[in-house]
Amino acid sequence: MIDLERNIGTKIRSEWFHGLGSISMALADRLYNIKVSSETLDNLANLEGHLKQGSVLAYINHVCLEDGPLAMAFLMQRLGRSIRSIGAPASKKHLDGRDGLRDALVMRFADFVGVNIVPIVQHYDTAEYDLETIEKSRMDFARTAKKVLSQPGGLFLLAPEGTRSYTKGLQEGQKGIGFLATLLRRNPVPVLLAPLGIIPQGQYERGEINWKLRQDGSGDFAIRVGQPFGLDEFAGIRDRGAITDIIMIKLADILPEDMRGFYSFKSF
């Protein structure tokens, strides 16, 4: 009976994620006319199958305020029926409301609807917080990510750059994702990493995408999901920076050349 109740609860939760993602993407598509390639659909199908027995660490390039919620809604829509738990870090300054009430409300709403939001002190913001708060945020990040990714159907999403790009070109990745990858080497379920590219079509603004741009199509987006890969890609490598480079180059490979930025001349 307990297993039956647990299975029913899991199915309801998965349907909730799928429904929430579908509603959010219906709105996003009206605003941004989202473009998705057939290759992306194939890679999503692979991720959907994997989630039945494993977990997924998805990561994006960071070009505007909307790209995190957009990527989360997209993944919930496409993978929601296979997702059992979702998590993502959020800048503590946004959750604290230091950049305005809107961002704080959006992130707290995400937590309310079932996304495990974990506040993290970003690398550029350490002067604003004491050491104890900084260390606690990093421990909470690792703990939450491990909890989500230690179960089948777990999805964790993050932006390794840690801050928005001024040029839309990819910035050097912070080592947090490399650290997380080393923690997952003894994970109880198999983990796949999935690079997800957010690609503005036409005019670009760092602060936030101007919804009025949608009138002439220059505010459109393409979303591209690269081929998922496992932790064996960096087997035997201990250096977090080297692991981060491998992960970021996978992301750069699915972006247009003018968006590869720091990783333009790096490849394997």
Name the residue ranges covered by the structural domains of the chain. 2-263
> So what's the pLDDT on residue 206?
57
pLDDT above 70: residue 237: yes
User: In the structure, what pLDDT confidence band is assigned to residue 1 with cuts at 50, 70 and 90?
Assistant: very low
Check residue 53 and give its pLDDT: 96
**Domain range 2-263, CATH class:** alpha beta
More confident residue, 63 or 97: 63
- Local confidence band at 28 (pLDDT 50, 70, 90 cut-offs): confident
Number of residues that make up the chain: 268
Classify the phi-psi angles of 178: left when phi > 0, otherwise alpha if psi is within -120 to 50, otherwise beta.
alpha
Cβ atoms of residues 167 and 257 within 8 Å? no
Q: What span, in angstroms and rounded, lies between the C-alpha atoms of 55 and 137?
A: 23
Which residue do the tokens 């993978």 mark? 79
- Choose between 113 and 151: higher pLDDT: 151
Question: What pLDDT score was predicted for residue 217?
Answer: 52
Find all residues with CB under 8 Å of 221, minimum gap 6, and list them: 32, 33, 34, 35, 70, 198, 199, 200, 201
Instruction: Look at the block and give the residue holding tokens 């994006």.
Output: 60
Residue 108 reports pLDDT greater than 80: no
Report the pLDDT value the prediction gives residue 42, as an integer from 0 to 100. Answer: 97
Sequence-distant (6+) residues with CB within 8 A of 158 are: 57, 58, 59, 60, 88, 89, 145, 176, 177
Distance CA 81, CA 79 (A): 6
- Residue in the block written with tokens 């409300």: 105
Minimum mean pLDDT among 127-131, 176-180, 203-207, 248-252: which range?
203-207
Predicted pLDDT at 5: 38
